[in-house]
Amino acid sequence: MTMQSWTTTTPVGPLSVITDNGVVIASGFRELSDTRSRLADQASAIAPAERIDGVSDAVLAYFAGDVSALDDVPVTQPGGPFQQQVWSAMRGIAAGQVWSYSELATKAGRPSAVRAAASACARNMVAPFVPCHRVVRSDGSLGGYYYGLDTKQWLLDHERG
C-alpha cells in the first residue's frame, strides 16, 4: 500500500487529497487533518507528497478552468451497493449541470430512494472527484454540502463559466 497526501490552495480554501496507489480514497475542502480523520485506522500510513501523479495535475487543471479534468481520476470509497451506484451516477453529471436528488435516485436505479441518494451524497468522501456539489433540491435550491453552501455555489458557478 502506497498512501500519499497532497494539499493545495484553491479559491474556496485548501483541498486535501489522499490516495492509495494513485486512487483517490479521501478528499475535501478542508485541512489534511480533517480529511485524514475520515479514514479511521488507515490514517497513520499516509506519506505527504509534493504532488501525486495523475491527481495533482487534474486538480490544478480543474481550478484553472478545465472543469472536466477530474472526471477520469480513479476513486474508491467504502459503501454499500446502492451508495456505489449513486456515486457512480454522480460522476455522470456533466460539469455545469445539476440534478435533483430525485433525478439522482432515478439514475442510480431506485427512483423511490430519494433519501438514500441524499444520504450517499452526504457520505461522499471523495469530493469534488465525485461531484456531490452538482446535486440540488427539486426546487433548484442548493440543499446541503459538507464543505458549506458558499463552496458549493462557487463550484457550480466555476463550472458554468
Q: How far apart are the first and last CA of the chain?
A: 38
24: left (phi over 0), alpha (psi -120 to 50) or beta: beta
Catalytic residue among 49, 70, 130, 132: 132
Amino acid 29 reads F
Residue 13: Cβ-neighbour burial (10 angstroms; 0-12, 13-18, 19+): middle
> Is 132 in the active site?
yes
Catalytic residue IDs: 132
